[in-house]
Chain A
Amino acid sequence: MIRPFELHRPTTIAEASGLLMTLPESALYRGGTELLQVMKLGLARFAHLIDLKRIPALHGITTDEAGSIRIAAGTVHHEIERSTAVRAAWPALAELERHVANPRVRSIGSIGGNLCFAEPHSDPAALLLAADARLELEGAAGRRTIAVDDFILGPLESDVAPGELLTAIVLPAPAAGMTLAYRRLALAERPTASVACRLTVLHGVVVEVRLAVGAIGVRPVLATVASAALTGVPVTDLEEAIRVASPLVGQACEVVDEPGASAEYRRHLAGVLAGRAVRAATELMA
C-alpha cells in the first residue's frame, strides 16, 4: 500500500502553487501514473499530494491566430491523440500519443506530468525537443517560458522551481516546408531508442534539420552533428546523406546499457531510427 498522505484539491494555479510552498513534503500530480508507482515502491514519500485535475486552466488544447498550438499541461495523452488541431498541425505528435505506454495510462496520464517526471524514455520529450516546443511555467515568482532542452536536466530531474507548475506546452506553427516525424523501437512499453526529426525543405533542398534522440541516454538531446550532415542537402541526395549522418546520431550523448539492450545496440538503433524518421518526414512533404 501507499504510505498515508493528505489529499488537496486546488481549483486554480495560484492556489496549487501556494499549497506547494506551504505544505511540507508535498507533490503535485495529475494522473499519478508515474508518481503513485514510485510511492508504492517506497522510492518517494509525500505527506501531501496536490491534485491538479480540478484546475480548469490546466486542461485543453487551443490554437492561436498564428497557428501555434498550446496544450495545457494537464491534458491527457488520449485527448492529444484525438485532437483535430494537433492532427492537422503536427500529426506526428498525435501518432506518438497513440503509442505512449498503454491505453490505460493514456486515459489519465498527462503530457505535463510526463515532462516534469523526466523519465529518460519519455516519448513526448524527444518529439517536443525536435519540434522546438516552449514550456510555460507559473509560480510565486511569476511566469516564464523555457525550451525543452533547458527544462529536462537529467533522469527524473526537471527545471521546476519550488512552488512552480508547468502550465502549458506550446508548439510553433509549422513553417513553410516543415514536417515532423517520430520513430521508435520498443522492446517493452518504454522505447529502447527513439528519434524525432523536424525537417524543413525549400525548393528541393533541406534547409534545416532538428534531430532529437531519446531513451538511449539520461535525457533526450539534439543530435546537432548528425543534423548538420543532413542540412543543405538536395532531397534527391538524402539517402547518401542519411548514410553519413546515421552513425553520428548515437554520438550525441552518453549511451547507457539497460537490460536487453546494450549501449552499442542502442547507439546503432538511434542511427537506424534517425534514417527512418528523416525519410518519414520527407514523405510527409508531399
Chain B
Amino acid sequence: MSAETDPRPTIEVDLSINGRSRRLTIEPRETVAEVLRGRLALTGTKVSCDAQVCGTCTVLLDNRPVSACSVLAADAEGQALETIEGLADPESGDLSPLQQAFIDHAAFQCGFCTPGFLMAATALLREEPDPSRERVMEALEGNICRCTGYVPIVDAVLSAARRSAP
C-alpha cells in the first residue's frame, strides 16, 4: 500500500452549509458526503450506492440536487450547500411542510432513503411550486426506495406542494 508514500495535497475551502460559513482544510479528493459525515458529523446525508445512481445522498447546491457521494467538496465552494439538517426551521425546529407531509403520508419505513427523497423533492418544489404528479415522478425517478413503494412519497410531495401553494 502506498498510503504513507502518497503525497496528500490539501486545500482551504470556504463552504456555505445550511446557511453557515465554514472554512475547512480538506484534501481535494474528499467528496461532499465525506466532508459532511466525516468532518462535520452531519450524518443525515446517507450514502448507499456511492455511484450517483440511488439518490440516497442527495444534497442541494444552489438549489439543484447533486449526489454528495460523487461531488468533490472543493467544488461546492461558492455555492449554497444544503443538507437534510437544514430543512427544519433552525429557531423553532418546526419541520418543513415537505417533511411534515412525509410523516402524514407514512412515506417511509426504514427511512434510509428519506433524506435523499426530501432533498430531491425540495429542489423540485423550489423550481416548480405546483408540479403535476407526472413531474414529481420524473423528478424522483433517480431516487430509489426499497421499502415503501413510491406512491406515498409522491402523494406526500403533491400534498406539500398544495399546502404551500399561494
Question: Which A residues are within 8 Å of any B CB, using their own CB?
Answer: 1-7, 31-33, 36-37, 40, 49, 51, 53, 78, 98, 101-105, 107-108, 189
Asked whether A5 and B67 contact (CB < 8 A) given A40-B50, A102-B55, A105-B52, the answer is no
Q: Is the Cβ of A7 less than 8 Å from the Cβ of B28?
A: yes
Q: Is the Cβ of B142 less than 8 Å from the Cβ of A104?
A: yes
Q: Is the Cβ of A102 less than 8 Å from the Cβ of B52?
A: yes
Tell me the nearest residue of chain A to B50, going by C-beta: A40
A206 to chain B, nearest CB (A): 33
Instruction: For B55, list chain A residues within 8 Å (CB).
Output: 102, 104
Tell me the nearest residue of chain B to A188, going by C-beta: B53
- Of the listed stretches B6-14, B81-89, B149-157, name the one at the interface; the rest are far from the partner chain: B6-14
8 Å CB contact of A32 from B11, B30, B71, B123: B71
8 Å CB contact of B66 from A3, A53, A108: A108
Instruction: For A32, list chain B residues within 8 Å (CB).
Output: 70-72, 75
Residue B113 is within 8 A (CB to CB) of chain A in the complex: no
Q: Is the Cβ of B52 less than 8 Å from the Cβ of A7?
A: no
Q: Interface residue tally of chain B, by bracket?
A: 20 to 34
- The 18 sampled A-B contact pairs (Cβ below 8 Å) are A1-B29, A1-B34, A2-B29, A3-B29, A4-B7, A4-B8, A5-B29, A32-B72, A37-B51, A49-B28, A101-B142, A103-B65, A103-B139, A104-B65, A104-B120, A104-B142, A105-B67, A107-B61
Q: Which chain B residues numbered 11 to 62 have a C-beta less than 8 Å away from chain A? A: 11, 27-31, 34, 50-53, 55, 58, 61
Q: Is the Cβ of B70 less than 8 Å from the Cβ of A33?
A: yes
Tell me the nearest residue of chain A to B142, going by C-beta: A102
Other A-B contacts than A33-B52, A40-B50, 10 sampled, CB-CB below 8 A, are A4-B27, A4-B29, A5-B29, A7-B72, A31-B71, A33-B70, A51-B74, A98-B138, A103-B142, A105-B52
Tell me the nearest residue of chain A to B119, going by C-beta: A104
Tell me the nearest residue of chain A to B67, going by C-beta: A104
Within the assembled complex, what's the spacing in Å between the Cα atoms of A51 and B72? Answer: 11
Q: Is the Cβ of B27 less than 8 Å from the Cβ of A102?
A: no
A189 to chain B, nearest CB (A): 7
Within the assembled complex, what's the spacing in Å between the Cα atoms of A1 and B38? Answer: 12
Closest CB pairs A-B (n = 7): A102-B142, A7-B28, A107-B64, A2-B29, A6-B9, A104-B67, A104-B65
Instruction: For A108, list chain B residues within 8 Å (CB).
Output: 61, 64, 66, 71, 75
Tell me the nearest residue of chain B to A51, going by C-beta: B75
Instruction: For A36, list chain B residues within 8 Å (CB).
Output: 31, 70-72
8 Å CB contact of B6 from A4, A53, A98: A4
B81 to chain A, nearest CB (A): 13
B23 to chain A, nearest CB (A): 17
Within the assembled complex, what's the spacing in Å between the Cα atoms of A158 and B106? Answer: 48
Asked whether A103 and B120 contact (CB < 8 A) given A1-B34, A33-B70, the answer is yes
From B6, B29, B55, residue with most partner A Cβ within 10 Å: B29
Within the assembled complex, what's the spacing in Å between the Cα atoms of A31 and B28? Answer: 14
Within the assembled complex, what's the spacing in Å between the Cα atoms of A49 and B75? Answer: 12
Asked whether A5 and B9 contact (CB < 8 A) given A37-B70, A104-B65, A104-B67, the answer is yes
Within the assembled complex, what's the spacing in Å between the Cα atoms of A93 and B116? Answer: 28
Within the assembled complex, what's the spacing in Å between the Cα atoms of A102 and B50? Answer: 15
Residue B104 is within 8 A (CB to CB) of chain A in the complex: no
